[in-house]
Structure 1
Amino acid sequence: MAQAMGRFSGGVFEGSFGSKTSRLNVCSKRVTSVTRFIVRAQHGKPQSSRRSVIGLVATGLVTGSFVQLVLADAIPIKIGPPPPLSGGLGGTLNSDEARDLALPLKQRFFIQPLNPSEAAERTKESAKEIVGVKKFIEKKAWPSVQNDLRLRAEYLRYDLNTIISSKPKEEKQSLKELTAKLFKDINNLDYAAKVKSSSDAEKYYAETVSTLNDVLAKIG
């Protein structure tokens, strides 16, 4: 019995010692593996940094060569002269006028009042510009028709009001009615250009020119 117990205890002790030994071996292996991993990671950082630097250099070289290729194949763009001043393009007269920067904004960007004789002269200039939209109608350049009409209509309205206010009472009413008909014809012509109707544009252009001649005859 005692021998059996001794064998049993010896087996237990041996097993326990053996297990401890195996546990120590496993722990030592783990520590070794962790240590090796840390060392390898530390060795891997310089390699990755070198690779990133090499990649950046390669990218820079490729980008530089691509830019040189694009610049070599670039097509020069020809820039033409500026448009003519004073209404060289449709609706550009107002933008071509000189601006005195020392003046207040109200005087710099708004139509200034003229005396009746000066207003009559500008009315004749506006009439010439309105008659000149015929070439845009023939070319079906509808935006140019609208731009010139609207620009000149503003000058006409302002100058005709100045002229009418200077006329005697017996002449004012007839000139007001004729002016109202003129702007109605201009609006009809503007709408014809908006809907791009060549037939209506020709019709209302003729009516506008006829009424415009009547107005010019009235103001002298």
Structure 2
Amino acid sequence: MELRSLILQPNLSHLFPTFTCCVKLKPSFRHLQQKELSLKFTRRVGFLAIITPLILGGEDIFSTQNANAFDFRFVAPDMTAEEALRGVRNHAQDLLQVKELLESESWTEAQRYLRQSSAVLKKDIYIIIQSKPGIERPELRKLYSTLFNNVTRLDYAARGRDGPQVWQCYENIVVAVNDIIYRL
């Protein structure tokens, strides 16, 4: 019964919202003041209002640049496991070269270099772990976790300028890198 009365009803204005507003008009437009200004928004107008800025400013909204931060985007790998394996040794050596910056106590440069070099190494090791058989993965994941947890701890210790904690984390990173390279 309700559905039939809804379908047969010629005026369906109660289904579509009407937004009204009262505008204070200039004295020359007093004759319009009695009329109510109303706007009807349809789904099409609402859709266009949302989509237009996305289309026109899409490059700025969906920018993928990151400001010296860890890169946690793990999507389809850009390289094969063999290419990643060739790059792991070089990237691991790059990660260990942060020692020079730590010795000179250049904390902000050390953090920046640590983040950049660890992001590439992280991606390479992740690709290699995914290509290994399921039996070998848990042990490699544990080493992976140990390595990058210590990288994060080193980053925080460098931020706080905590020398002893920095060197302890660096030693843990060296041990973890050597273990990972040995097992790969």
TM-score range, shorter chain: 0.5 to 0.7
- Quickly say closer, same or farther: Cα 1:171–1:204, change in 2 above 3 A: same
Partner of 1:121: 86
1:114 positional shift: 1.2
Partner of 1:206: 171
Larger % of strand: which? 2
Q: 1:169 pairs with 134, 137, 146, which one?
A: 134
Distance 1:191 1:124 in 2: 25
2:117 equivalent to 1:152: yes
3-state DSSP class of the match of 2:136? helix
Asked which structure has the greater CA Rg, the reply is 1
Distance 1:189 1:120 in 2: 25
Paired residues of 2:88 and 2:121 also in contact (CA < 8 A):
yes
- Quickly say closer, same or farther: Cα 1:165–1:112, change in 2 above 3 A: closer
1:145 positional shift: 1.0
Partner of 2:180: 215
Distance 1:162 1:112 in 2: 7
RMSD of aligned Cα (Å):
1.9
Q: Which runs of 5+ in 1 are unaligned?
A: 1-90, 92-110
For 1:137, give the aligned amino acid: L
Distance 1:189 1:212 in 2: 14
> Whose RCO is larger (CA < 8 A, sep 6+)?
2
Q: Which runs of 5+ in 2 are unaligned?
A: 1-67, 69-75
Partner of 2:45: none
Q: TM-score, normalised by structure 1?
A: 0.48
Larger % of helix: which? 1
